[in-house]
């Protein structure tokens, strides 16, 4: 495992070797997290000179890419429009795996439970039907026989199994994209928060018009800038007043009664639609080398937590945090209802309709933004990075992202 200064050391080396002309780049990426790392990979792969500016050390728990794992699935209950993007995302994750010879995607399948005629389950069915995806209707008794760990699920509920689904190792994905980007020549700068930016319409950069970006340490110019700043997007794009709300979320890790029954290879990913708008979800216990320091059975609740400002989030854990997932264990998975091993906080950045924003800035033609991933964006990072690279280099993308444009809010 690399130490925390790994990216900075290599970057310092690259800067000395590359003789950067007056801090000028083809593209500057603001925010080196989920989407920014992927964008840096795709742009640098095409030979572009890229600078990534990250306010913290690379890979951290303060934003949205901490916490070991993220679900990935195709039969998308949020909206069937996401399915084409997901198909491409799966391909791109596979490419990352084959290029690096590292495993980031684990296909465990996802087992869903819900009341008869549950809206979330019905939307999964709809996406699968519209896009001809694999989805199995399981008798609840069969599901419980196969996985008695769910023996608290009421007997009149339904269950669905999506086989081509599972989880991604979130920090490892970001780390690999950053590493690949660096090897392709990108410059990565940690601890360099972007404070302001302005668009130049005059010949002030070596490329003519472009964008000037200011941090506490330096000023940089580029043909274009891409904002992938997650929970910190709003102050950077004040001119747009992007409708984003940041919420504090928690993830828990517990000790089940029979550890081995819940481990990878014995237990799938799962989702329980408890009532309108509440989805409990979780992943199996991972092999120790993949845990990112959090051992145990992981679970979370997909429901917006309290609205917060990203720089003043209370990271202390309280009784309500524990209660947010304990209810699920008590009701539905009593065999997993053991000691809490750890709890972590994480941030959602939500749009009013919970669909992402991926667009060109309507007023500044050299600015591109990707934000508002509303607690379900990570699985798309591999396609969002590619889309951002296309928008930056060609001004357009082949991917169907019209439904994610900013204009729906203005």
Ligand X SMILES: Cc1cc2nc3c(=O)[nH]c(=O)nc-3n(C[C@H](O)[C@H](O)[C@H](O)COP(=O)(O)OP(=O)(O)OC[C@H]3O[C@@H](n4cnc5c(N)ncnc54)[C@H](O)[C@@H]3O)c2cc1C
How far apart, in Å, are the Cα atoms of 40 and each of 53, 58, 226, 246?
Answer: 11, 13, 10, 25
Q: What is the DSSP letter of 78?
A: S
110 DSSP β-pair partners: 162, 269
Question: Would you say 144 or 253 has its CB closer to ligand X?
Answer: 253
Q: Is 221 helix (H, G, I), strand (E, B) or coil?
A: strand
Considering the complex, what minimum distance in angstroms separates the CB of residue 203 from ligand X? Answer: 27
Taking the C-alpha atoms of residue 295 and residue 255, their distance in angstroms, rounded to an integer, is 9
Binding flag, residue 7, ligand X (CB under 6 A): no
Among 236, 336, 358, 388, binds ligand X (CB under 6 A): 236
Binding flag, residue 194, ligand X (CB under 6 A): yes
Among 39, 50, 64, 110, binds ligand X (CB under 6 A): 64
Taking the C-alpha atoms of residue 389 and residue 64, their distance in angstroms, rounded to an integer, is 21
Considering the complex, what minimum distance in angstroms separates the CB of residue 344 from ligand X? Answer: 8
Considering the complex, what minimum distance in angstroms separates the CB of residue 380 from ligand X? Answer: 7
Among 125, 193, 326, 331, binds ligand X (CB under 6 A): 193
Considering the complex, what minimum distance in angstroms separates the CB of residue 63 from ligand X? Answer: 3
Binding flag, residue 251, ligand X (CB under 6 A): yes
Considering the complex, what minimum distance in angstroms separates the CB of residue 98 from ligand X? Answer: 21
Considering the complex, what minimum distance in angstroms separates the CB of residue 372 from ligand X? Answer: 8
State the number of binding residues for ligand X (CB under 6 A): 37
Taking the C-alpha atoms of residue 191 and residue 133, their distance in angstroms, rounded to an integer, is 43
Among 92, 205, 228, 292, binds ligand X (CB under 6 A): 228
H or E element in which residue 389 lies: helix 381-394
Query: Which of 234, 248, 219 lies closest to 317 in space, CA to CA?
Result: 248
Taking the C-alpha atoms of residue 318 and residue 46, their distance in angstroms, rounded to an integer, is 47
- Of the CA atoms within 13 Å of residue 360, those in its CB half-sphere come to 15
Considering the complex, what minimum distance in angstroms separates the CB of residue 92 from ligand X? Answer: 14
Query: Which of 14, 36, 22, 27 lies closest to 230 in space, CA to CA?
Result: 36
- At 48, list the tokens: 């572009």
Among 32, 166, 256, 284, binds ligand X (CB under 6 A): 32
Binding flag, residue 205, ligand X (CB under 6 A): no
46 DSSP β-pair partners: none
When CB distances to ligand X are compared, the closest residue is 33
How far does the chain reach from its first CA to its final CA, in angstroms?
46
Binding mask 364-383 for ligand X (x = CB under 6 A): -------x-x-xxxxx----
Question: Would you say 223 or 248 has its CB closer to ligand X?
Answer: 248
Q: Contact positions toward ligand X, by CB under 6 A?
A: 30-36, 53-56, 63-65, 67, 70-71, 193-194, 228-230, 232, 236, 249, 251, 300, 346-348, 371, 373, 375-379
């Amino acid at each position: 495992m690399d130490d925390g200064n790994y990216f900075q050391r290599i970057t310092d080396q690259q800067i000395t070797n590359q003789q950067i002309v007056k801090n000028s780049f083809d593209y500057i990426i603001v925010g080196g997290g989920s989407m920014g790392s992927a964008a840096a990979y795709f742009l640098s792969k095409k030979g572009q000179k890229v600078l990534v500016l990250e306010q913290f050390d690379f890979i951290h728990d303060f934003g949205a890419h901490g916490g070991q794992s993220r679900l990935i699935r195709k039969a998308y209950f949020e909206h069937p429009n996401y399915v084409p993007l997901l198909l491409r995302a799966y391909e791109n994750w596979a490419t990352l795996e084959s290029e690096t010879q590292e495993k980031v995607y684990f296909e465990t399948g996802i087992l869903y439970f819900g009341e008869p005629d549950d809206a979330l389950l019905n939307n999964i069915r709809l996406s699968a039907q519209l896009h001809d995806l694999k989805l199995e209707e399981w008798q609840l008794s069969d599901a419980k026989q196969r996985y008695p760990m769910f023996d608290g699920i009421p007997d009149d509920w339904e269950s669905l199994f999506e086989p081509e689904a599972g989880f991604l190792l979130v920090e490892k994905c970001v780390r690999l994209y950053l590493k690949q980007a660096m090897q392709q020549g990108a410059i990565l700068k940690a601890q360099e928060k972007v404070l302001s930016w302005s668009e130049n319409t005059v010949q002030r950069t070596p490329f003519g018009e472009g964008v000037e970006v200011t941090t506490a340490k330096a000023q940089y110019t580029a043909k274009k800038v891409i904002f992938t700043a997650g929970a910190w997007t709003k102050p950077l794009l004040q001119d747009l007043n992007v409708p984003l709300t940041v919420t504090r979320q928690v993830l828990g890790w517990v000790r089940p009664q029979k550890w081995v029954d819940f481990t990878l290879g014995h237990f799938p990913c799962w989702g329980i639609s408890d009532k309108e708008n509440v989805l409990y979800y979780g992943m199996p216990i991972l092999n120790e080398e993949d845990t990112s320091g959090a051992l145990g059975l992981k679970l979370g609740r997909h429901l917006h937590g309290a609205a917060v400002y990203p720089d003043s989030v209370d990271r202390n854990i309280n009784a309500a945090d524990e209660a947010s997932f304990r209810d699920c264990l008590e009701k539905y998975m009593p065999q997993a209802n053991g000691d809490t091993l750890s709890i972590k906080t994480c941030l959602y950045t939500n749009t009013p309709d919970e669909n992402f924003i991926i667009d060109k800035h309507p007023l500044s033609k050299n600015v591109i933004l990707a934000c508002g991933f509303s607690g379900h964006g990570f699985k798309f990072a591999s396609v969002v990075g590619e889309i951002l690279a296309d928008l930056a280099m060609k001004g357009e993308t082949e991917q169907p992202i019209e439904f994610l444009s900013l204009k729906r809010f203005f």
